[in-house]
Amino acid sequence: MKVLSIFGTRPEAIKMAPLVRALAAEPGIDSRICITGQHQSMLQQVLDMFELKADYSLDVMRPDQTLNSLTAALYAAIDPILDEMKPDKVLVHGDTTSAMVAAMSAFHRRIPIGHVEAGLRTGDIRQPWPEEMNRRCIDLISDHLFAPTAESRRNVLGERLQGISFVTGNTVIDALHLTAQRIDSNRQLRHALDRQFSFLVPERKVLVVTGHRRENFGDGFLNICKALGELARRDDIQIVYPVHLNPNVLGPVTEHLGDLPNVHLIKPLDYLSFVRLMQRAHVILTDSGGVQEEAPSVAGQAGSGHARCHRASRGSRRGYRTLGGHRDRRDHSRRERPV
């Protein structure tokens, strides 16, 4: 049996790594990887850490690329690979544009599709954008729907989709546990990772922030930065923000937070280093779907910067909070309470 796993972002690689490793260990399965390359350097770090190698690597990313131009490039690049390999099944993960195009490309060739992380819903087709539309499309055409929670499976059952659905748990937690165990069992590695964060003051609580989503570009990031600036006035808090290199993120974050003494803007971290930073955090504020799922397992509190949150069903019982904030700077008053 030939299985092709197609993914392109670092979060996808992290979540697919345990599954791809398991497939590779099966003697009757010819498992191959195609990476679409949205986060090329960060993605390669994950592949190296989990000892995975891409069989196909696409060159489709361009500066200032629109979603439509990316979609067209992905269709043109993926179809020849499907024609050459002729897989018996295509696996995609989540809700990225690359996942949607990969699934549609397989559907057009009548290749069965497996959707990992099926059934997530906000109920608003435009929130998050374009991910909500992407995952609904993928679920609609998938033959096997691997839902992370019972709630996610109820969503796909309620929509009467044709695919067979299963509750599988979330592979990101498998990847997180593998990585955390590696850190916890190796004192030398742990100390080496901690040296990256030597600027931290032990007496102050650590608030880790990540943000990169398209839906927050513009006023969204501006309002988030203003709220974080208000929080940074407190002398018992230190904010660590690994800033995404996208100019729509880097620009406003640097402008509004770069000169504040309690705010540490750092370069994006590899996965191993970021897991260690999460272990040291008291609070994590993020608009990343993957970090929302990881954070409650390692940090004291976790919060979402989404307008609508679709990943809080488990986290809300484990220190998770949905924190609006990209709409209005007054949100800082709500953020202060859990800290």
Any catalytic annotation for residue 12?
no
| Catalytic residue, candidates 12, 32, 115, 131 | 131
| Catalytic residue, candidates 214, 234, 264, 308 | 214
User: Hey, what's the torsion of the CAs at 323, 316, 209, 18, to 10 degrees?
Assistant: -140
In whole angstroms, how far apart are CA 289 and each of 18, 54, 149, 274, 294? 18, 24, 15, 15, 9
Any catalytic annotation for residue 203?
no
CB 18 within 8 A of CB 51: no
124's CB contacts (< 8 A; 6+ apart) are: 132, 308
| Catalytic residue, candidates 93, 135, 153, 244 | 244
| Catalytic residue, candidates 95, 215, 287, 331 | 95
Any catalytic annotation for residue 95?
yes
Helices 289-298 + 171-184 axis angle, to 10:
50
C-beta neighbour count of 40 within 10 angstroms: 15
Distance CA 273, CA 279 (A): 10
Q: Using the 8-state DSSP alphabet, how is residue 124 labeled?
A: B
**How many Cα atoms within 13 Å fall on the side-chain side of residue 33?**
23
How large is the C-alpha radius of gyration of the chain? 20
Buried b or exposed e, range 245-279, using 16+ CB within 10 angstroms: eeeebeebbeebbeebebbbbeebbbbbbbbbbbb
Distance CA 14, CA 269 (A): 14
Q: Which two tokens stand for residue 268?
A: 């994006």
Any catalytic annotation for residue 214?
yes
Any catalytic annotation for residue 294?
no
Any catalytic annotation for residue 117?
yes
| Catalytic residue, candidates 12, 117, 132, 294 | 117
Catalytic residues: 95, 117, 131, 212, 214, 244
